[in-house]
Structure formats: C-alpha cells, structure tokens
Amino acid sequence: MEENSTSQQMKDALLETFKFTKQFLAQHNLRYIACGGTVLGAVRHKGFIPWDDDIDIYMPRADYNRLLDMNDQLQPLGYEVISCRDKGYYMPFAKISSLSSTIWEFQRLPFLMGVYVDIFPLDEFEEPDQVITARQYRSHYFFDKYINAVSSYPFRFFLQRLQHLDIHQMGLYLLHLYRRRNPQRYLQAFLDFEKTYTGGTGSKCVCVTQWEGRIFQTEWFTDVIELPFEDTTVTAPRNYDAYLRKLYGDYMQLPPVEKRISHPHFYVDLNRRLTIPDILAQQ
C-alpha cells in the first residue's frame, strides 16, 4: 500500500519505538535530548504535532558512536540501529528501527527500514559561528554526492527532464551515472570530513548535517527537563523557549494550513518486515 498520512496507527507504532528507545538508552547509560519538531510538539501539543509523524532526538557524539556498535544487543529485542554503515542507507544520521514493520520512504532510494526514531549526533565547538556554518555546508556537500550515487533513477526520469529542459535535474542524472560506479568513495569522503570536527568540547553545539547557521548553546542540552509527550515524557532542553525561538521564531503560532504536511512514504506496512521484491510484486 502507499502511505502518505499521519494515521493514528503510525503514531502508535512510532510511540512504541520511542518508548523502547528511551528504555534501551537508559539501560546502557546513553544520553539523549529531544530536538526539532519533537520539542515543539511536546511544548505546543503535549505530544505529536498533529500533522507530523516522526520523533527526533540528539545524542552527544560519544554516546551516539557507542550506539552504532550495539546492533547485537538491539536485534534480539526486535530492533536495529541503521546508519551509514548499512549499504544503500541515504541519511547522514542514524535511526533505531523496528524489525517488525516496513517503510520504503522514497521510490528512487531503494532502502527498507521499519518504524524509526531519528537519531542525530551532537557535536560541540569553540569556533566562530561562520566557521561552524561552513562545516555544515561542507558536510552537506559531501553527503549530497553520496545520495546522488545511491539513488535509482529510471531512464524515463532523464527523458522527462529533457522534454521540459530541466537542465539542473538532467545534470543530476548524468552525475548519478558517473557516481553510481563507486558510491563508497563519496561516503568515505563524508566520513573522513566528519572526523575533522568530532570529539571537541565548547560552548556551542550543532548537528553538523542539520539546519545550516542554526547554532545552539551547549548548556541548552546539558540542563534538561522532562516534558509530557502523549502518554510518556521526553527529555528536552530546560530552556526550550530559547531553543525553539532559535529554530522557529514565534513557535506557538501555527503554520498556514498548506504547510501542515507529513513526511512522504512510498510504501508502509506496520505489521511485518518485507523485502523490495515482496513490495514490487504487489505493485
């Protein structure tokens, strides 16, 4: 089936995955802090933003790196951690994903996962804001090449863009034909760049692959509070007002109706883990 809604079933499954994630991280003394729309939802709606269907958390880089090595503990419990280590995965951050469901997000990116919690590494800096922002842009530059390499573009994509004289998209397609021969090369360039800025300490912090120019105070993520979220709680910055204003401005103001959209999903099955051939056989 195709899924592009914020169904209650999806939110129930996501909340279950989040509760497991909280419990697992606590058991292993791994720190997390909610971020982005999850903090906004907790403050403004006491749970999910009504039209949203994801949960985002930060983890300090050291704890994040520990989590990446814990699949042996997660899989017997029905979950997995997916990251750039997994062939074909197309995000520069990790997810804890259920093994009992199937999500295929984008048709052109043939990688399957389950209902997931997004997990972003948080790095500290003691650098001028413009230097940190430059790192963010550079990081996206490297990873965008990798996404282009692992995408799957049918030839009709090129023909359609040629018909409409879409020079930019035609260029992306031609670059894809070149880059797909060795996607690992582009991933390694990103990982090598990542090593140049991890492990430091400082009064500022960002997830380098997010929100260029949105630079936060480290103390926002060390001085934390529990906020209600649906029938559980999330750990969030105690000074969530400063954090949310940095991200959204007047965050209590609802966006226009036309901007109240959820994340796209090409295919969803909330009850079982399928393979790509299984899904294609249903089309």
Considering the chain, what percentage of its residues have pLDDT values greater than 90?
Answer: 82
Check pLDDT > 50 for residue 3: no
Provide mean pLDDT across the span 102-124.
96
Say if CB 188 and CB 146 are below 8 A apart: no
Mean pLDDT of 16-42: 98
Cα–Cα distance, 276 to 17 (Å, whole number): 23
- 157: pLDDT confidence band, cut at 50, 70 and 90? low
Collapse the DSSP code of 225 into the 3-class scheme (helix H, G, I; strand E, B; otherwise coil) and give the result. strand
Task: Enter the pTM of the model.
Answer: 0.92
pLDDT of residue 187 exceeding 60: yes
Which of helix, strand or coil describes residue 172?
Answer: helix
List, as one string, the DSSP characters of 228-276: EETTEEEEEETTHHHHHHHHHSSTTSPPPGGG-----BSEEESS----H
Give Cβ neighbours of residue 250 (< 8 Å, ≥ 6 apart): none
37 CB neighbour count, 10 Å cutoff: 17
State yes or no: pLDDT of 160 exceeds 80.
no
Distance CA 235, CA 227 (A): 6
Measured CA to CA, the distance from residue 56 to residue 36 in angstroms comes to 7
